[in-house]
Chain A
Amino acid sequence: MSRPLHDRIEAQRIAADLEEPVDEAGNLARKFGLDPYEVNYWIVDYDEMNELIAYGGFQQRYPHWRWGMQYDRQQKQSQFLGGKAFEIVNNDDPSHAFLQESNTISDQKAVITHVEAHADFFANNEWFGMFAGWASQRDADSADGERRTRSPNAAAMLARHADAIEAFMTDPDIERGAVEKWIDHVLTLEDNIDQHQPYEPIDTRIDLIDEHDTADVAEQLEELDLSDEVKGQVFTEEWLDAQADDEDVTTFPAEPEKDVLGFLRKHGMQYDGDAAKAAEMDDWQKDILEMLRREAYYFAPQKMTKVMNEGWAAFWESAMMTGETFAGDDEFVLYADHMAKVLGSSGLNPYSLGLEIWQYVENSTNRREVVERLLRVEDVTWRNFHDTIDFDHVQELLEPDPEMASVGTHLEDLDPDDPRVDAEALDRAQSGDLDVETYPWKVLTTEGLAERHYSLTKPQNRGFVSRVSQEELERVSRYMFDEARYASVEEALADIDYARGWDRMREIRESHNDVTFLDEFLTQEFVDENEYFTYEYTQSTGDYRVTSTDYRDVKKKLMLQFTNFGKPTVVVEDGNYNNRNELLLSHLYNGVMIDMKQAKDTLKRVFELWGRPVNLKTIVKEFDEHDVEVAKRRDREPEPEEVGRLLRYDGDEVTIEELPWDAVEHLAADDIDYDTKPDEWLA
């Protein structure tokens, strides 16, 4: 791909136009309390943009058809964003963001503000920190000051991988097709890593030594490479079993291993089709496995925080564009249109889900602050709260001070010692060195901005405080101990902390991922307000039906889509299954079946990386045909029976065996029932 086009006059012109918005967006983001990586903005044309998107936000990736596929899909899904890809930014320090040159100024501004928020997320969310051990400057400056200097250096890493793989492909001693196939095999297991652990490169020598001590004799025999005849004569089955009994054989691995790719890197072998047996992996195979594993770990945090991240970016983009009218007056309509397109798509939209939860977090935290104070007003209790509090009055009192709301007209009234005021900027504004009309926010501090943008007094949130539930009131008062009482509502709300919502949001964006985010903040209120529901496939009608609007069900279903990348958890249970070095994978069954067809196909790929027969233990649900007929007639849902299954691939054919329940019982550990069908429906 060509370099970003500084050379073109056209591109430069646009870049010049955007310098100011870029600088100011960065400033405004910091004023809002964000702390983004530095962002380098590049202007690219339509084709370059599509290439970047196809490559996942980078300029160079290893050669593979998947990029072509992504490009193809991207073309076809362009109806989602009206044919435009607005921006792309990658996780790196500094981040690189690419803007399409044909975007309107209004779009570019929206994009830039969005990008700044993403850059803040990458820089602060701890899940991203696990890959590189944190980026440099930030922690050097942070309170605990632990110096962690490595940034992901993502672009460089991906480029290195690309070059290395390209070199393998052009190496005359290596068959190009074999390289491509090998990559395909590894990619099927892209998500089978341990994403909750920091990335540790595999150092084969150390690991092998450990394993070697407890390795089964049979494995060592494999390495001796004797002919079957000789083996059969000397090392009879009985002899081998006797050996196995003598040794203090611990399971291998000791604990079920979630990093399947890592395990295969350490202990896997390739399958030599001609010789019809396993052989040690070539160096290039080991290298590719590890490179792709490293990339999987690099991208994992992004996959794990998609909802949060997109919601975060949408939230701050909106705050900057409309809240601070970063969009000019004439650009505002275009911006509204932009947001409508982004948020308006059908299906479950991570942008809107994320944004809604962040807004909910902001509101409910702010509301908590209000409620805590009001409950300390004389004669107010959680029981009489709704009867004694005049919510309209409360809303009035909560309104931001006029000096905060319209800075320009109140310049003289601002006090440089006010913690909400940026004294230095005020000085410049008053002497005319600062354009207050355009940049009123410069004169304020984060605290000031928090008041200025206070959520509870926005028109769409007017009734939020009054909707607080009895349960919540009761809960809040439970944790209130002997605290000073306020004489009046006015007094209680006099020095309310306007920034509590944003402070809490910043904490959350550091510590959470999508699963914990959804788990914690999806309440019944949220589900009701945003009209979420669950649906299931129903046998009686042969189609999908709405099954529940209860928030616990909605949460369960969402968990399914976000936990473990929305895929079933498969771990390595045994690397010496059947005492013949077969691989045994286990599906940690949570009530939802694994897709059998794909599982078979994937197993075939795993075989190529293990070299010896591979097995998968799982649990399936079986419906008795007769039960189904009966249930259908009664317009009810049939109940399935759970049975164990063993899938096996030996290089020749796939076999499926039924397993007794005790062999799979340990897999069905979860108490959660992911089926949301109402009980009344069941036959």
Chain B
Amino acid sequence: MGLKDDLDRYREVGEQRRQDLSEFIQYGDLGQSRPDSVKVPIKIVDLPEFAYDKRDEGGVGQGDAEAGDPVDAQPQPADDGDEDGDPGEEGGEHEYYEMDPEEFAQELDEQLGLDLEPKGKKVIEEKEGDFTDITRSGPTSTLDFERLFKQGLKRKLAMDFDRDYVREALKVDGWGPAKVFEWARGENMPVSRAWIEDAYDEIPAGEKTTWESIEEMEANTERVDTARRIRREGIDQVPFRREDERYRYPEIVEEREKNVVVVNIRDVSGSMRQKKRELVERTFTPLDWYLQGKYDNAEFVYIAHDADAWEVERDEFFGIRSGGGTRISSAYDLAAELLEEYPWSDWNRYVFAAGDSENSSNDTEEHVIPLMEQIPANLHAYVETQPSGNAINATHAEEVERSFRSADNVAVAYVSSPDDVVDAIYEILSTEDDQ
């Protein structure tokens, strides 16, 4: 018992309370999110109750106001900090679970059963990797000192011999430098002839006959090996040699960048009213997030069109509404032009178009379909948003579907209400997944 346990329980419950992704996409408030941060609402108050419909309820406020003035609705009586034993019950506030596009893409994959692998295109970039390569020359700062030292130490050890032992050998009666030299070499001691002769001269005359034989010498003299000697005496010098110098150098890593450009096309003509616009937003926004999450580098191009096409910023894209007629090919013309900046060899491309399938006569067959064939892309898609079912002239989606039945990079989806949005997204993304 205790607050800690209750807090843990709440955390568990809270996790489950996160609005599930489908619900969020189809009905949720997309407005709190940004292109690179997806905010999915978590409702704080979880247990349902019989309550008034918030909108129908209205409310009371305080301030200098007149009928007609807009109100920033904060309907409930404010919650107070000092309670006298009243468990709080006002509610419906939202908190947000924030995720970046990568996580969003992962979750959507899970939910829709997809697993889109972003393709690395041929944009190869030479990147400097770790400093693991070694060369024999370079700037001083990259000198591998450790290696140099180790080499020097090895040399030292290799050239080391027990000097005292050899001196003792020189004290054997009848053994001169030549004889000792021969003997030492036989013992694998790297001593030089010159050194022996110098050492011989240094020995006082009386000691030159200390030992009667080499055997006697060996029996009475301790031979100390290198390691012990060093441990006892230490090393005062480690020889560094030029030829031991090594310099570190960065590895060249070849990176294939996963780029994507997403072209969003929307029919903004008079017939595209509020409901249709909202459906487009609910379909395109998650697609954009998904692709952004899957690819390293995502760029977005927004094209609005009626009878003509023009490029717009993301902010304006969903809200624009013009009055004119519709000619979808204008958008594809513009798209083709803009895509020259993003060559197919280097960029993954997605071209998504949405509208209510209305188009000028023959434009679909004569212009749009050929253009779609000419523009190479990972995926072309058309989303028909037609809330009230099929209108008479609205055949664009059908025609596209018919023409590209055998193609594997064209998807057509139909959305007539928010309920259809997730299916449409699935339809589109799974088309590429099946490729």
Binding site for B on A (CB under 8 A): 1, 50-51, 53-58, 60, 63-74, 76-78, 80-81, 84-91, 111, 114, 118, 122, 154, 162, 166, 180, 184, 187-192, 299, 302-303, 306-307, 309-310, 345-351, 353, 530-537, 541, 543-549, 554, 557-558, 560-561, 565-568, 570, 587, 592-596, 598-599, 601-602, 605, 621, 674-676, 678
Contacts and interface: CB of A to CB of B under 8 A. Distances in A.
Contacts of A535: 58-61, 71, 73
A468 B101 CA distance: 64
Contact of A188 (B49, B65, B82): B49
B8 interface: yes
A190 B49 contact: yes
22 contacts: A56-B83, A57-B85, A66-B6, A68-B11, A69-B14, A73-B93, A77-B81, A166-B1, A188-B47, A302-B86, A306-B77, A347-B61, A347-B78, A537-B58, A541-B70, A544-B72, A546-B71, A567-B50, A592-B56, A605-B47, A676-B58, A678-B67
Contact of A299 (B46, B82, B86): B86
Contact of B57 (A184, A533, A560): A560
Contact of A346 (B3, B78, B84): B78
A74 B87 CA distance: 11
Nearest to A547: B67
A71 B6 contact: yes
B51 interface: yes
A534 B77 CA distance: 13
Contact of A568 (B52, B72, B81): B52
Given A69-B44, A348-B77, A64 B67 contact: no
Nearest to A165: B1
Nearest to A350: B77
B60 A543 contact: no
A57 B83 CA distance: 7
A561 B3 contact: no
Contact of B53 (A86, A154, A594): A594
A92 to B, nearest CB: 8
Given A77-B81, A545-B69, A72 B57 contact: no
B71 A348 contact: no
B64 A531 contact: yes
B61 to A, nearest CB: 6
Contact of A306 (B63, B65, B81, B86): B86
Contacts of A621: 56
A635 B46 CA distance: 37
A91 B78 contact: no
B87 A532 contact: no
A598 B49 contact: yes
A80 B78 contact: yes
A77 B54 contact: no
Given A350-B77, A537-B56, A544-B70, A56 B86 contact: yes
Nearest to B3: A51
B231 interface: no
Looking at chain B's contact residues, the main secondary structure is: loop
Contact of A347 (B48, B57, B77): B77
Contacts of A118: 84
A80 B79 contact: yes
B52 A594 contact: yes
Interface of B: 1-3, 5-14, 44, 46-74, 76-89, 93, 95
B60 A545 contact: no
- Indicate the member of B11, B49, B61, B70 with the most A CB atoms within 10 Å: B49
Contacts of B59: 348, 534-535, 544, 557, 561
Nearest to A590: B52
Given A91-B84, A351-B80, 14 more contacts: A54-B3, A80-B79, A85-B82, A88-B82, A88-B83, A122-B84, A348-B60, A348-B77, A534-B59, A534-B60, A596-B53, A598-B49, A602-B48, A602-B50
A293 to B, nearest CB: 15
A349 B67 contact: no
Closest 4 CB pairs of A and B: A68-B10, A57-B85, A601-B48, A65-B9
A561 B60 contact: yes
- Indicate the member of A57, A60, A348 with the most B CB atoms within 10 Å: A348
A547 B71 CA distance: 10
Contacts of B84: 57, 88-91, 118, 122, 302, 309
Given A65-B12, A188-B47, A546-B67, A56 B60 contact: no
A450 B93 CA distance: 44
B81 A85 contact: yes
B50 A599 contact: yes
- Indicate the member of B9, B70, B86 with the most A CB atoms within 10 Å: B86
Given A65-B10, A593-B53, A350 B81 contact: no
Given A65-B9, A351-B80, A91 B60 contact: no
A567 B11 CA distance: 28
A557 to B, nearest CB: 5
B105 to A, nearest CB: 29
B85 A546 contact: no
A83 to B, nearest CB: 9
Nearest to A309: B84
A547 B60 CA distance: 10
A637 to B, nearest CB: 12
Given A74-B81, A347-B77, A350-B77, A67 B3 contact: yes
Nearest to B45: A69
Contacts of A191: 49, 89
Contact of A73 (B44, B65, B70): B44
B58 A546 contact: no
B232 to A, nearest CB: 63
Contacts of A532: 60-62
Contacts of A351: 80
Contacts of B51: 567-568, 594-595, 598
A533 B63 contact: yes
Contacts of A310: 80
Given A77-B79, A348-B78, A543-B70, A595 B54 contact: yes
B81 A78 contact: yes
B88 A73 contact: yes
Contacts of A347: 61, 74, 76-78
Contacts of B95: 76
A188 B46 CA distance: 10
Contacts of B50: 192, 567-568, 570, 587, 594-595, 598-599, 602
Contacts of B5: 63
